[in-house]
Amino acid sequence: MFKTRLLSGIVLVVIALATIIGGGIVLLCTLTAVSLIGMQELYRAMNVRKDKFTSLEIAGYLCAVIYYVLLWVDKDYSGLGHLMPVLSIIVLMCVYVFTYPKYQADQIMSAYFGIMYVAVMLSFIFLTRNLEGGRFIVWLIFLCSWGCDTCAYCVGMLIGKHKMAPVLSPKKSIEGAVGGVVGAALLGAIYAAATHGPVIEYAIICGCGSLISMVGDLAASAIKRNRSIKDYGTLIPGHGGILDRFDSVIFTAPVIYYLAKILIR
């Protein structure tokens, strides 16, 4: 299992390096594909997807694709991208009304949640890459997410005693969480020194991002517990599905984007 997990992790890193360094249309298309797969995993868990494609599911995917097309047109997120939350709910409610009583209200809400939670939040990787200096800043998303996870695990294994969320995730400790935040901040400072970036700003961004990344991890776990599933999917051997691997990244991407716009001039 460890070997499989390690090899899968290496492949993920290689894909991330290739697409994020390239940026542009390559990154946009990759994120679109990742978002659609992640949405399908969530739709399956939330009973939006059945044994075959449904009109509600297809409407959700269509909204996600349109959103990414709008981002390509409006790369600085100044106007067109903000249309999507409103347009999506209108499209999904049209499906709800004109196919009634095929779908329940909770399925419509789950479909909308999938667009916002997966497609929109992951898109901030692309938006961060497009910031001034974004080719360096964008890596903070992964550095604080996966760095926090690794540091929290190590510290928790060594000195973890007090449970952070005993019902939801019994293995996570308060000591591990503190270690994750401190570790992520240190990684941010080291990364800044290596790339000649602003040390204090990068450390603050990674520290704040790591706090949110833990919420993202626990949120994904809460959904899985509610739906009585172990993993969202099996796409990534040893890791599960897209949402199992990117649960914290989904939360940190928007936070890093806005913190970078505020703190880095």
DSSP state of 167: T
Contact 127, 256 (CB under 8 A): no
Q: Are 149 and 141 in contact (CB under 8 A)?
A: no
Q: In whole angstroms, what separates CA 23 from the centre of its chain? A: 18
Cut 0.85: pTM above it: yes
For 191-215, write each residue's pLDDT tens digit.
Answer: 999 999 999 999 999 999 999 999 9
Residues 6+ apart with CB under 8 A from 10: none
b (16+ CB within 10 A) / e for 200-214: ebbbbbbbbbbbbbb
- Give, for all 265 residues of the chain, the pLDDT tens digit: 545 655 666 777 778 778 888 888 999 999 999 999 999 999 999 988 777 888 999 999 999 999 999 888 876 665 666 788 889 999 999 999 999 999 999 999 999 999 999 999 999 999 999 998 899 999 999 988 888 888 888 887 888 777 887 777 777 888 888 888 888 899 999 999 999 999 999 999 999 999 999 998 899 889 888 888 887 866 666 567 888 888 889 999 999 999 999 998 7
Each domain of the chain, given as residue ranges in start order, spans: 1-130, 134-265
- How confident is the model over 224-249, as pLDDT tens digits? 888 888 878 666 665 678 888 888 89
Q: Residue 203 corresponds to which tokens in the numbers above? A: 């450390």
Tell the burial category of 79 from Cβ atoms under 10 Å away from its Cβ (0-12, 13-18, 19+): exposed
**60: which 2 tokens?**
């959700």
What sign does the dihedral 12-39-132-213 (CA atoms) show?
Answer: negative
Measured distance CA(67)–CA(144) in Å, rounded: 26
What count of Cα atoms within 13 Å lies in the side-chain half-sphere of residue 168?
16
